[in-house]
Amino acid sequence: MPQLFPKGANALPILSLVGALAGGVVLVGLVWYYFSPEYTDVGYAPEQPVPYSHRLHAGELGLDCRYCHTSVERFAEANLPPTETCMNCHEQVQTQALSLQPVRKSWAEDTPVEWIKVNFLPDYVHFSHAAHVNNGVGCETCHGRVDLMDVVSQVEPLSMGWCLDCHRNPEEQLRPDEAATVMGYEHPADFMERNAERIAREGIRPPLNCSACHY
């Protein structure tokens, strides 16, 4: 009968096989970890067809977010601006800039600039900007300091756990609706009490039931 686990030198291949399996488990663990939503998406900052800078336009020039993202308070989706919005200024400013060539082409040919989407939810998740922006959740809470970004990146995981963290304890996050688009917002010292009052007064109850977010 051949021995199943031979002694001495013959044990080496088995040991290395065991080692490889253990290593494999660690590798799978790492891959799992890094490819979980926290790691695949946060920091995602695709190069855009035009080097449009929020730092310049929303930061230095101080344009309000709603000047371009006009639908955020009314609809589920936050629209991107049409080329016309850019041309309001760029028919007069930087009319020859190479960086704006694709915008002029889009305007001349009446075709949209093909901006690349940064933040994603899977199709099976229901999300509405209006429901959040009108209930005290600021852009900054979910998108970070966009006014400091030359290139927009995703700053929050947008995972189910992340949504639910706030839905369970909204008093820790809400701000007055007037401050929805303010960047670098600082809560007053008593904001938790104010939020608790507002939540009770307006009956703000972020849903925890599955069917609210998943049909």
Among 55, 81, 104, 192, binds ligand HEC (CB under 6 A): 81
Q: Taking CB under 6 A as the criterion, which residues in 184-203 touch ligand HEC?
A: none
- Of 91, 87, 101, 7, the residue nearest 49 (C-alpha): 101
Asked if 94 interacts with ligand HEC (CB under 6 A), we say yes
Which among 4-12, 16-24, 162-170, 187-195 is the span making contact with ligand HEC, rule CB under 6 A?
Answer: 162-170
| Contact call for residues 155 and 113 (beta carbons, < 8 A) | no
Q: Taking CB under 6 A as the criterion, which residues in 4-33 touch ligand HEC?
A: none
Asked if 45 interacts with ligand HEC (CB under 6 A), we say no
Number of residues this chain uses to bind ligand HEC (CB under 6 A) = 76
- Please state the closest distance from residue 132 (CB atom) to ligand HEC, in A: 4
- Please state the closest distance from residue 72 (CB atom) to ligand HEC, in A: 4
- What is the spatial distance between Cα 42 and Cα 61, in angstroms, rounded to a whole number? 27
- What is the spatial distance between Cα 84 and Cα 196, in angstroms, rounded to a whole number? 42
Q: Cα–chain-centroid distance for residue 215?
A: 22
> Radius of gyration of the chain from Cα atoms?
25
